Amino acid sequence: MNFLRRRWLPSALVTSLLTLAAGTEARADGTAQLGTAQGLRAGAVLYVDIVAPATEGIRWTGTGTVAVVDPNGTAVATLSSGQTATLTGKPAGAYRVTVASNQVTGSSWDLSATNPTDGGGRVFSYNWTFDAGSYAPAAATYGSFYAIVDGGGGSFRPVIELALDGLAGYVYDINANSIGIDGPLRGKSVPMSGNSVTPEFPIYLRVPSIATFDHADPAAYGLTYVGGTSTDVNGAAITPCDQIAPGQSEGLFQFTATATGSYHLQCDLDGDGQMTATNPDDLLVIGTTQVGLNVVSWDGRVNGTPVAPGTYPCKVEMTIGEFHYVGRDIETSYLGMRLYEVGVGGTRTPLTMFWDDSLVQSLSLTMPNGQTSLVSPGAAGMTPGAYGTTPVPNVSARAWGSFTATGKGNNTYLDTYTWLGGSTTSNIQVTAVDPLVDTDGDGVSDFVERCTLGTDPSDPDSDGDGTPDGAQYWAGSTPASTGGLESNGRLAAALAERAIRQRFGITPRAWFAASTLSAWAEGASLPGARAVISTPADLPQVTNAADVYGLDFVDGAGTNRGSVLLVASDGALYEHSKEICDRAHGAALELATDLTIDGHAMVMTRFRRADGAHDYAVALKLYAQGDQVAVEGGWLPESYSPVAAGQRVVNLQVWAADATDLQALVASLTSDWARRGLIVAAAPPAPDEEAAPLPVRTATSAPAAFVRAGGLLGETLDLTVQRRFTDGPLTLRLVGADAERGEHVVELGAVADGAQVAVRDTLPLFADVTVELVGRRGVLDRVWLSDGAWSRYDDGLWGGATTPTTSTTCATDPLAAGAAIRWFGCAETTALAVDQLAGVARHLARPLDLSTHRYLVAHVDASRAGTVCVESTTARAQACRALPAGAGWYAWRLDGFDPLAARTADLVTFAADAGGAIALKVNGLAVVDGELPPEVTEVTEAPTTGGGCSSAPSPSAAALVLAAIALSGRRRRRAAARR
């Protein structure tokens, strides 16, 4: 509804628009075509094409009323049975008509355009919804539906007729689209649970007046496959590999299309020399095309199972006018359904039909003729007989069921599809490889070397520098002690302080042995690795965690191959996840795909971290039910089951350097739980005909699109969005990015399957933002991003005696003009006595490139002089300059700081060293690349002390802690260099 253009008509005017239908010529649409057995359900949304509103009207006959709205979203009238709305002065177009009441089975209902300028069909719906009241043949549908399908863009409007003979679904829908079910199993019939279908085409009860009966002549060509990176570890260009590690990597098929339509990516996986759409052993990926380059991603699996190593021929068949009728919960089609192309003058051309019922065929019943319905029509499909002839089940008609409440149509989506024309590319070869083969023994698989690093899989030291490729380029996975945390602005300062403690290697003493969660990890194992406790024990301090337990699995070389992290919360889900956490801290989400282990459905992800390493990860929620748990996998928090008051839920996160180790870790846990009888069995679904069907959770499905990577730098937001498969137009909703409006919306529109979209936007200064990626059916993905946070910076964080009073809610004073980058917020601290140092710190979520900027600028009010330092926490390097006493805008040349080991900084500190009282406030922080504004004073003095963490204070207890930290840091760096 367009609320900006909507207006309510005065009741007197509405009354004047209503006239009795007596004497008005019209061709009714409804029971005239379908009979009185098909009762339209309340809430059905229909449309009427109005060509000449000056003379045409809309008439309703049936039970209850209908609400009529014009093409601009303005209410026109509410019609009772027998009334007509006159449309003089209204626009031409499709008028929306919403039915208020269930239509009574056995009574007529009709909707029509009165005084039509032609005799064609005017009434359509994107989703016809019926209640026939019975499964019996007398309640079945014997009519036809006519869909206007995509003819290749432009003004093409071809028509496909769905001719039904004995369709009995009791409560059922009629809709169609160009791809089949939502999700990766397109072209297949599937159970309803966990799946859905999105209506796309307008479907009429008579041949549409607006049809043109023509379509484009398409071409598809230039098919290629990219299985990995196009540059090596040194940035040099290489030819991308043509391989895939099934279930562990994702390759991209690319081709060019000359028209909009659908594509069928097919690969011959069973070696029979045919690429068959209806063969469940071959690959079939269906999606929509755009004019120009098209990209299709594949994870090397079919029906969730990784394909065997081998080389396979593949092709793309592009279609025009593809039509999928996906029957929802339709128990019977007998004698059966047929599909025809409608031509000019009413001609009908039989269309070859395809389907693949292999995933639901076990539910089949014997049909009334004694036969069993076909699992598929074979590679050649099924061609209907001549129009007007009697359908023959399993010969010329798609048939199933026996007019009962059971069968393969019950609680399933049965997909039947066809198309009007097409074009096929030349074949290419794609090789699936074993991801564990390591020919040169350097600790990196051949696949990773060819497709990810660009190193030589036959040379253990590709660059000849004396360090094996594995040690040099392929780090282990993230340890559990640093995982499992992200947040929003509520905890930004606390997280910044946590990062400072971790930078110095300080973590609170843990209650490892006392954790109630250790029992859930007893069965965790990974061949060739030993379990080491690695619990991030400070999570309860900054999150809603009630208990936490972590394990790392370390091999003989000291490499962390995988981790298990269990975090318990009471009465609510744990508020963080690795999926969001890693992207909030600079990692890119490269893969999100469905995975099933021991019957538990979950989403497997792969992240490329900022240091170039990879983590494969899954997450499960364990809902406590007495001494057992119900296990759920998922994506967004709101798609999980609700949590009862006081109920304990354990958030399980597992990640590893490769997918094989990940799946082994998860399987070791789930099999141990099953052996010990700890898992609650899932309850069977309730029959859908006897009561309103329960909502079907789709939490276990990987999202149709996701935010691949994102970051903030001052007022600049950068995002990359990855679409996996079609889910309608995409929208970015940035919640909290604008204090006045509350949210900022970016319309991405249609994005092709497999494509990535880069988004850069400039927004008002803000602390943090929740990014929601919204598709046709709601929020697909969510990421929290921040440009960093202000926090305290004193020796009290790592055991010193300073106990300052700090705040990050003071009034901000951003630089008025001349800034290349400005950061949100401010911070202040006061202390009566400084033991070692005290001040404030600004974390930069996106590191600042010191080589491309000129000045660091801040508004400082300090009671005594100190130091300002920029630091690279990853390189553990710091450089400092003098911080004057007094209040004002100050600037420091970035090239005046001592060179850092890394020319980037992710931490800026303002602090005073040991001594008396300190009061320090930083009201604004910015970078200036040009001339300084007149209100800014440049500081040229060097610091009078070591400054910050690199100062040399008196030998107090805090100083001893700092010395131990520095020593342990050097030891860790040396150990890392040796590895």
pLDDT at 807: 86
* Position 344 confidence tier, pLDDT thresholds 50, 70, 90: very high
* Position 629 confidence tier, pLDDT thresholds 50, 70, 90: very high
pLDDT in tens, 202-240: 999 999 999 999 999 989 999 999 988 887 777 788 888
Task: Tell me the average pLDDT across 130-134.
Answer: 94
pLDDT at 259: 93
What is the Cα Rg of the chain in Å?
A: 33
- CA dist., res. 920 & res. 860, Å (int): 7
- Token digits of residue 601: 């459905």
| Beta-strand runs (E) in 7-50 | 18-20, 29-30, 39-40, 45-50
Instruction: Say how many C-beta atoms besides its own lie within 10 A of residue 362's C-beta.
Output: 9
Q: Which residues of 447-459 are buried (b: 16+ CB within 10 A; e: fewer)?
A: bbbbbbbbbbbee
pLDDT in tens, 664-675: 999 999 999 999
pLDDT in tens, 241-251: 999 998 778 88
Task: Tell me the average pLDDT across 98-126.
Answer: 95
Contact 376, 357 (CB under 8 A): yes
Residue 940 has pLDDT above 50, yes or no: yes
pLDDT at 303: 78
DSSP-assigned letter for residue 401: -
pLDDT in tens, 415-469: 999 999 999 999 999 999 998 899 998 888 899 888 888 889 999 988 888 888 8
pLDDT at 502: 60
* Position 898 confidence tier, pLDDT thresholds 50, 70, 90: low
pLDDT at 138: 94
Residue 963 has pLDDT above 50, yes or no: no
Of the listed ranges 341-345, 388-392, 484-488, 692-696, the one predicted with least confidence:
692-696
Instruction: Say how many C-beta atoms besides its own lie within 10 A of residue 886's C-beta.
Output: 12
pLDDT in tens, 845-868: 788 888 889 999 999 999 999 999
Residue 691 has pLDDT above 90, yes or no: no
Residue 964 has pLDDT above 60, yes or no: no
- CA dist., res. 76 & res. 66, Å (int): 11
Of the listed ranges 265-274, 872-881, 956-965, the one predicted with least confidence:
956-965
Of the listed ranges 87-96, 179-188, 374-383, 670-679, the one predicted with least confidence:
179-188
Instruction: Say how many C-beta atoms besides its own lie within 10 A of residue 474's C-beta.
Output: 24
Per cent of the chain over pLDDT 90 is 51
Task: Tell me the average pLDDT across 941-951.
Answer: 55
Task: Tell me the average pLDDT across 876-897.
Answer: 88
pLDDT in tens, 527-571: 989 999 988 877 777 788 899 999 999 988 788 899 999 999 999
Task: Tell me the average pLDDT across 630-646.
Answer: 89
3-class SS of residue 492: helix
**By CB neighbour count within 10 A (0-12 exposed, 13-18 middle, 19+ buried), where does 561 fall?**
buried
pLDDT at 497: 67
**By CB neighbour count within 10 A (0-12 exposed, 13-18 middle, 19+ buried), where does 2 fall?**
exposed
- At residue 606, φ and ψ (nearest 5 deg) are -135, 130
Sign of CA dihedral 282, 288, 292, 294: negative
3-class SS of residue 672: helix
Residue 177 has pLDDT above 70, yes or no: yes
Contact 331, 407 (CB under 8 A): yes
State the chain's mean pLDDT as an integer.
84
pLDDT at 189: 96
pLDDT at 761: 85
* Position 19 confidence tier, pLDDT thresholds 50, 70, 90: very low
pLDDT at 2: 28
Contact 879, 870 (CB under 8 A): yes
3-class SS of residue 904: strand
DSSP 594-654: EEEETTEEEEEEEEE-TTS-EEEEEEEEEEEETTEEEEEE-SSGGGSPP--TT-EEEEEEE
**By CB neighbour count within 10 A (0-12 exposed, 13-18 middle, 19+ buried), where does 507 fall?**
middle
Residue 275 has pLDDT above 70, yes or no: yes
* Predicted structure pTM score: 0.70
At 667, which helix (H) or strand (E)? helix 659-675
- CA dist., res. 30 & res. 60, Å (int): 10
